[in-house]
Amino acid sequence: MSVTTSSSPSASGSVTALLSLTGRVVAGLRSAYLAWEDRRAVARLQAFDDAMLADIGLTRGDVYGALSLAVTERPSGHLASLAAERRAGSRAQAREIRAALRSDDATVTVDGQVLPKVPLAEQLRHLDRA
């Protein structure tokens, strides 16, 4: 006597659909959990004082703004891009100031104040005293 088993195409298709649905549900739950953890981590930044936030290139308004983003957006990614933009801006401003200080005819202004020209020898003497 021989026993033959066969699976019907409809049963195989429904198992595949069920596995696909289960995978999507698990991925959605994982994504929601990671978003919740990310939001909790950013919320902990609210306990930092302004000096600590400035050390990492952020302001209190940045943290509040990141937490007000849509639930589907990552607040930590938003904060990272804000801090990177600030660093890039500060570096560009420092490069412009250094270039202007090196040239003889340029006037350097920072926040509306004109910086005095200091000869290189005097700058080096100042560094030696420090």
Looking at the structure of the chain, the number of domains it has is: 1
9: in domain: no
What six digits make up the tokens of 13? Answer: 């298709």
What six digits make up the tokens of 92? Answer: 């560009």
Q: Who wins on pLDDT, 15 or 43?
A: 43
> Stretch 48-74: mean pLDDT, rounded?
91
Strand partners, 108: 115
- Asked whether residue 6 carries a pLDDT value surpassing 70, the answer given is no
76: in domain: yes
The per-residue pLDDT for 51 is 94
The per-residue pLDDT for 67 is 93
Range of the domain at 40: 17-129
What six digits make up the tokens of 127? Answer: 């560094």
**CA trace torsion 76, 81, 83, 85 (10° rounding):** -170
Report the alpha-carbon distance of residue 12 to residue 24 in Å, rounded: 19
Convert the pLDDT of each residue in 24-60 to its tens digit: 999 988 988 888 899 999 999 999 999 999 998 899 9
Which backbone phi and psi does 93 adopt, to 5 degrees?
Answer: -65, -40
**CA trace torsion 87, 91, 93, 94 (10° rounding):** 140
60: in domain: yes
Convert the pLDDT of each residue in 78-127 to its tens digit: 999 999 999 898 888 888 877 777 776 656 677 777 766 666 666 566 55
pLDDT classification of 13: cutoffs 50, 70, 90: confident
- Asked whether residue 64 carries a pLDDT value surpassing 60, the answer given is yes
The per-residue pLDDT for 106 is 59
